[in-house]
Chains A and B, each alone.
Chain A
Amino acid sequence: MLKGWVVLLASIAYLCALFAIAYYGDKRADRGRSLIANPYIYALSIAVYCTSWTFYGSVGRAAASGIDFLTIYLGPTLTFVAWWFVLRKILRISKAHRITSIADFISSRYGKSTVLGGLVTVIAVVGIMPYISLQLKAVSTSFRLLLEYPAIVMPKTEYVPHFLGDTALLVAGCMAAFSILFGTRHIDASEHHEGMVAAIAFESIVKLVAFLAVGIFVTFGLYGGFGDLFAKAAVKPELAKLLVVDAGAYGQWVTLAVLSMAAIICLPRQFQVTVVENVDEDHLRKAVWLFPLYLLAINIFVLPIAFAGMMQFPAGNVDADTFVLTVPMAAKQESLALFAYIGGLSAATAMVIVATVALSTMVCNDLVMPVLLRIKALHLQERGDLSGLLLAIRRGSIIGIVMLGYLYFRFIGQSVTLVSIGLVSFAAAAQFAPAILGGIYWRGATRLGALAGLSAGFLVWAYTLLLPSFARSGWLPLDFVRDGAFGIAHLRPYELFGLGGLDHMTHALFWSMLANVGLYVAVSLFSRQGAVERIQAALFVDVFRWSGERGSQFWRGTATVSDLQALVVRFIGKRRADRAFSDYARSRRLNLSKVPEADAQLVNFAERLLAGAIGAASARVMVSTVAKAEIISIDEVMKILDETSQVIEYSHQLEQKGQELERASAELREANARLQELDRLKDDFLSTVSHELRTPLTSIRSFTEILFDNPELALGERERFLGIIAKESERLTRLINQTLDLAKMEAGRMEWQMERVNPKAVVEDAVAATGGLFEERGIHLDLQLPLRLPMVYADRDRLMQVLVNLISNAADYCDEADGRVSVWSSARQDQVTVGVGDNGPGIPRSVQTQIFEKFQQADTPRRGRTGGTGLGLTICRQIVEHFGGTIGVESRPGKGAQFVFSLPTAAALEHGGAGDGRRQAIRWLIPAAGRRLGFKRKRRVPAE
């Protein structure tokens, strides 16, 4: 087995399967039944992070320096732990602005800057090139290793096969074909490549299963489990030292962790799968633990395989980077070795495919298109359909990138180990981190700051990592590394400015980050943002605070709808453009054909559509050709932003304070309403009282004046007038007394002499006191009292007042000819009831409830000495209610009226139950307000 043709066939079969899956994924997407719309596929696609560098290189690094290979995976885990602050925000921003790549993200944040986008693209292409070549190298090496089976011979580094016979070139061609087929099928405003993502997820499964298979075979097949393997390894001193790390080695540990934390976001391919290809923001919530779990799983067997390899090949003639393959080969496990090879192939292809698609998008949108659009001679602005041109540029750049990777591999990459190549790329990608993190959290970061930081970081990176690797490959004189540029010792790339004693990576990271972050911050602090920059900064930093119609308020542009539509059609094709516009119209209930002038919102919408296809910077340029969309002046932008941000900043506090204020003002309103009610009642009372006082006063005054003016008046007349004056004076006195009584009661200043009172005795006394009245008018009084009545708790004089008032009222209102008044009493259910009835005209039902109110009289009395004051019944009710009782009237017109009041018995009050409710029911003049304003009423609780 493992003949050349078998390996080749297996490789081709695997690649065919990949094409099939991608094809199926795209077909499903076209039919609207997405294959990748679930968090598991999403997490697996992020695992494109594990390239052949992981698959082969981890073991190599573990064999060389022990446990620190893990940092490359612990770093991303930590970044994912902080997902809430970084990934979630980047994701939201990218969805809102239809970000197509990491270059687009940075350019968009810093004012849709074309220059910045181009710079990021250049850094990415130059930085990632070694990484792509690393994948090709891994595939080529593993293929040639398998061909030598059963012998295990390391491929000679100086061996350079003919171009046509080079498997690396073959594989590179296949990957380019795949990327072109599934990465550039059409220009899409959403920039999703569903087929590609499905294939990547499949590759992630293959490489994980392959690696685990090798690991399990080694650990449990060749050895008796972890314990056995580690025990055997511990015996050998060169292995044992890998498990014990001395303190000095941890400098590199920190460097690698920081690099990998940045890489998981900043590598163009990671940005592509994590951010651009994300179909649902919510998938991130599962991916944040699934992806680290994947990393953990693929790393469990790294150290066992490394140890096994070192014990199997003690002579050291086998490169540790190949242990995953050579250990099964040495154990004559042919199919396992083939599977391991396929796993390595899957890791490599996945990386190359995603990286080339991501890079080609960047090259097209941020490097080539902006330049082409600016070259007036090409008349691109007037040309029709441009989507073909876009696709051609992308396909061309895919081929270009893969070929560059291949050339790098052929002429430079042969001499360096896998891990050091990969780390060079990591360090390049990490240069984006300050601009990205600063961009989403620091509103003041400027375009110039980002430009300065990125350029400086990139230059230092190139000088301290890239050029030395060229030198070591013989492309530059080695003197450069040894003596520094121009022979200046301070410019030695591995010991810049005399900083020695660090490993190359830590050294490069330190200097590049110092230059990058330092200039980024310093230049940002001392440069000014333009209007677009300021807007974009606010939209990025405050992404969670703004809704979907971002930015439109900042443009005051007008264009015709048809111009806009035509522009979008040129880039994304008629079908997609029409669909997007009709969706827009439907969501806003617009009829675009009837709206000739596009408003700022529609212009903004069109620009974002274009941005999804050609990037923010180019989209800005294109839209400005058809729309007279001018950004509102910087002053206005500042005004809106400042107002907005202040409002947002304080709105939360204001909300809280507002709620408190609202509560307080509600209470105030309530109190005020009560006060007004109180005031109104007082006014009413005063005006009624003064009116009531004026009536007798007027009559007294007029009769006095008659008497005064007519001294010769007849004696009979004179006596009659004097009688009226006396009667009116009496009524006036009574009125004043009663008013005072009522006022006292209502103000709670009445002195109550509460005691146990026998109601029967009080009734009898009252009847006796009014006896003269009955005799005088010839009214028949019918008194019906039981033998005994229970005691009540009351003020005796006041109770007497109630009874006299009711009885004399009855006498006043009873039938003129045959007056009858009945007084009765009974005791039942803890209460004593007393009734006073007459046989007068009765009280109409409509006024029955009013007669207890102040100055309300049902009728003028038919007979009577003085006429009522209108306060008697009110006072009666106040008194009865003060005793915890109730008073009411029963009457039918023509059948007389009967006033009935009940009082709780003293026994009931002492037991506490029955009387309470009634005491609660005491009606005050202004009940609630009185209590709230602190008027305390004197109420004596029964002492016994």
Chain B
Amino acid sequence: MAGPAKTSERSISLFLLGLLAFSPPMLLIFGGEASILGIPSLYAYLFGAWIVLIALVRILAERARPNERPRPPPRPEPR
């Protein structure tokens, strides 16, 4: 179980990682005519990165503490 602060850091990092993985420069790297096991490299890369991202979100989400307890609200001065 990770605390809210830790989960926040991990979420942001993972989101940025996702942005990077699906950013045009990365796609250009894999956008050539090469193929992996007969599957075009761009196609293989996108699905591979996608499944890895999903696996990481799963790990992150299952480890996150469900919900922090909200604090009681401050009470106004009695008038």
Contacts of B39 in A (CB 8 A): 226-227, 230
What are the 6 closest A-B residue pairs judged by CB atoms, nearest first?
A227-B38, A250-B24, A289-B58, A84-B11, A243-B40, A547-B70
Q: Contacts A74-B50, A226-B38 given; 15 further ones with Cβ under 8 A? A: A77-B53, A81-B53, A83-B11, A85-B12, A228-B38, A230-B35, A234-B40, A243-B42, A244-B33, A245-B27, A245-B42, A281-B67, A289-B58, A296-B54, A636-B76
Q: Are B28 and A247 in contact (CB under 8 A)?
A: yes
Chain B contacts for A240, CB-based, 8 A: 33
Q: For the complex, give the distance between the alpha carbons of A257 and B54 in Å.
A: 17
> Cβ of A547 and Cβ of B73 under 8 Å apart?
yes
Choose among A74, A285, A545 the residue that contacts B22 (Cβ–Cβ < 8 A).
Answer: A74
Contacts of B42 in A (CB 8 A): 67, 243-245
Contact of B38 among A230, A254, A549 (CB under 8 A): A230
Q: Which residue in chain A gives the minimum CB-CB distance to B74?
A: A644
CB 8 Å contact bits of A394-406 with B (1 = contact, 0 = none)? 0000000000000
Q: Which one of A234, A253, A292 has the greatest number of beta carbons of chain B within 10 Å?
A: A292
Partner of B76, one of A78, A289, A553: A553
User: Judging by beta carbons under 8 Å apart, are B76 and A292 in contact?
Assistant: no
Known: A82-B15, A285-B64. A296 touches B27 (CB 8 A): no
Please state if A296 and B76 are interface contacts (CB–CB under 8 Å).
Answer: no
Q: Is A550 an interface residue when CB atoms closer than 8 A count as contact?
A: yes
B43 and A243: CB pair below 8 A?
A: yes
A758-786 contacts to B (CB < 8 Å): none
23 contacts between A and B (CB under 8 A): A67-B43, A70-B46, A74-B46, A77-B18, A81-B15, A81-B57, A83-B11, A85-B11, A92-B67, A230-B39, A244-B33, A247-B24, A281-B67, A285-B66, A286-B61, A288-B61, A289-B61, A296-B50, A296-B54, A550-B73, A553-B76, A640-B74, A644-B73
Contact mask for chain B residues 28-70; partner A; CB cutoff 8 A; 1 contact, 0 none: 1001110101111011001100110111011001101011101
**Once bound together, how far apart are the Cα atoms of A643 and B33, in whole Å?**
62
| A640/B8 contact (C-beta < 8 A), A244-B33, A296-B51 known | no
Shortest distance from the beta carbon of A368 to any chain B beta carbon, whole Å: 34
Q: Is A339 an interface residue (CB 8 A)?
A: no
A296 touches B43 (CB 8 A): no
Residues of B contacting A77 in the complex (Cβ-Cβ under 8 angstroms) = 18, 50, 53-54
Instruction: Check if A890 is an interface residue, CB within 8 A of chain B.
Output: no
Q: Is the CB of A549 within 8 A of B47?
A: no
**Cross-chain pair count, CB within 8 angstroms:** 130
Q: How far is the CA of A244 from the CA of B7 in the complex (A)?
A: 38
Given A78-B19, A83-B11, A303-B43, A292-B57 contact (CB < 8 Å): yes
Cross-interface CB contact of A547 among B28, B46, B72, cutoff 8 Å:
B72
Q: Which of A70, A234, A244, A640 contacts B32 (CB 8 A)?
A: A244
For A303, what are the chain B residues with a Cβ–Cβ distance below 8 Å?
A: 43
**Which residues of chain A are near B7, meaning CB under 8 Å?**
84
Chain B nearest CB, measured from A226 CB (Å): 5
- Whether A78 touches B22, Cβ cut-off 8 Å, given contacts A253-B27, A289-B57, is yes
Q: Which of A83, A257, A543, A549 contacts B61 (CB 8 A)?
A: A83
**B76, chain A: closest CB distance, angstroms:** 5
Cβ contacts under 8 Å, B12 to chain A: 82, 85
CB within 8 Å of B: which of A874-924? Answer: none
Interface residues of B (CB under 8 A from A): 7-8, 11-12, 14-15, 18-19, 22, 24, 27-28, 31-33, 35, 37-40, 42-43, 46-47, 50-51, 53-55, 57-58, 61-62, 64, 66-68, 70-76
Which B residues touch A847, using CB under 8 A? none
B48 shortest CB reach to chain A, Å? 11
For residue A380, CB closer than 8 A to chain B, the reply is no
In the complex, what residue of chain B is closest to A556 when comparing beta carbons? B79
Question: How many Å lie between the Cα of A632 and that of B76 in the bound state?
Answer: 11
Interface string of A216-244 (1 = CB under 8 A from B): 00000000001110110010000010011
- Nearest-CB residue, chain A, relative to B14: A81
Let me know if A85 and B33 touch, CB within 8 A.
no
Quote the shortest CB–CB distance from B73 to chain A (angstroms). Answer: 5
> Which residues of chain A are within 8 angstroms of B64 by Cβ–Cβ distance?
84, 285
Residue of B nearest to A251 (CB): B24
Name A247's closest neighbour in chain B (CB-CB): B28
Across the interface, do A546 and B70 meet the contact criterion of CB distance under 8 Å?
yes
Q: For A286, give the chain B residue with the smallest CB separation.
A: B61
Q: Is the CB of B35 within 8 A of A81?
A: no
Please tell me if the beta carbons of A547 and B71 are within 8 angstroms of each other in the complex.
yes
CB closest chain-A residue, reference B59: A289
Query: Given A83-B61, A230-B39, A67 and B24 touching (CB < 8 A)?
Result: no
Minimum C-beta distance from B61 to chain A (A): 4
In whole angstroms, what is the CA distance A549 to B70 when docked?
Answer: 11
Give A100 Cβ to nearest chain B Cβ, in Å: 22
Q: Confirm or deny: A80 has a beta carbon within 8 angstroms of a beta carbon on chain B.
A: yes
- Closest residue of chain B to A242 (Cβ to Cβ) is B40
Provide the residues of chain B in CB contact with A85, threshold 8 Å. Answer: 8, 11-12
A544 at the interface (CB under 8 A from B): yes
- A545 neighbours in B (Cβ, 8 Å): 70-71
Chain A residues lying within 8 Å of B40, measured Cβ to Cβ, are 230, 234, 243
Cβ contacts under 8 Å, B57 to chain A:
80-81, 83, 288-289, 292
Q: Which of A614-647 contact B (CB under 8 A)?
A: 632, 636, 640, 643-644, 647
Report the minimum CB–CB distance from B30 to chain A (whole Å): 10
Give B74 Cβ to nearest chain A Cβ, in Å.
5
Instruction: List the A side residues contacting B62 at CB < 8 Å.
Output: 285
A83 to B62, CA, bound (A): 13
Q: B31, A245: Cβ atoms under 8 Å?
A: yes
A165 beta carbon closer than 8 Å to chain B: no
A743 close to B (CB within 8 Å): no
Cα–Cα, bound, A244→B40 (Å): 9
Chain A residues with Cβ below 8 Å from B54 are 77, 289, 292-293, 296
Contacts of A372 in B (CB 8 A): none
Rounded to whole angstroms, the CA-CA distance of A82 and B74 in the bound complex is 30
A544, B69: Cα distance in complex, Å? 8
Q: Which residues of B contact A80 (CB under 8 A)?
A: 57
Query: Could you tell me the distance in whole angstroms from the C-beta of A235 to the nearest C-beta in chain B?
Result: 13
- What B residues does A289 contact at CB under 8 A? 54-55, 57-58, 61
* Closest residue on chain A to residue B79 by CB atoms: A556
Complex formed: what's the CA distance from A709 to B72 in Å? 86
Cα-based distance from A648 to B71 in the complex (angstroms):
10
Q: How far is the CA of A550 from the CA of B11 in the complex (A)?
A: 28
A716 contacts which chain B residues (CB < 8 A)? Answer: none
> Which B residues are CB-close (under 8 A) to A226?
38-39
* One of B18, B33, B68 near A544 (C-beta < 8 A): B68
Q: Which of A259-310 contact B (CB under 8 A)?
A: 281-282, 285-286, 288-289, 292-293, 296, 300, 303
Contact at A546–B73, with CB atoms within 8 Å? yes
A599–chain B nearest beta-carbon distance, Å: 13
Q: How far is the CB of A293 from chain B (nearest CB, A)?
A: 5
Is A548's CB within 8 Å of the partner chain B?
A: yes
Q: Is B61 within 8 A of A292, CB to CB?
A: no
| Max count, chain B CB within 10 A of own CB: residue among A74, A289, A546, A647 | A289
The residues of A that contact B50 with a CB separation of less than 8 Å are: 74, 77, 292, 296
Query: What is the bound-complex CA distance between A282 and B39, given in angstroms?
Result: 38
CA distance A303 to B43 in the complex (A): 9
Q: Quick one: given A67-B42, A84-B7, A245-B31, are A643 and B74 in contact (CB under 8 Å)?
A: yes
Measured in the bound complex, the distance between the Cα atoms of B28 and A240 in whole Å is: 16
Select from chain B the residue with minimum beta-carbon distance to A641: B74
* Cβ-defined contact, B66 with A257, below 8 A: no
Bound Cα distance from A801 to B79, whole angstroms = 77
Chain A residue, CB-CB nearest to B39:
A226
Chain A residues contacting B32 (CB-CB under 8 Å) are: 244
Taking CB atoms, residues of chain B closer than 8 Å to A245 are: 27-28, 31, 42
CA distance A85 to B31 in the complex (A): 32
Distance between Cα atoms of A923 and B44 in the complex (Å): 80
Contacts of B47 in A (CB 8 A): 296, 300
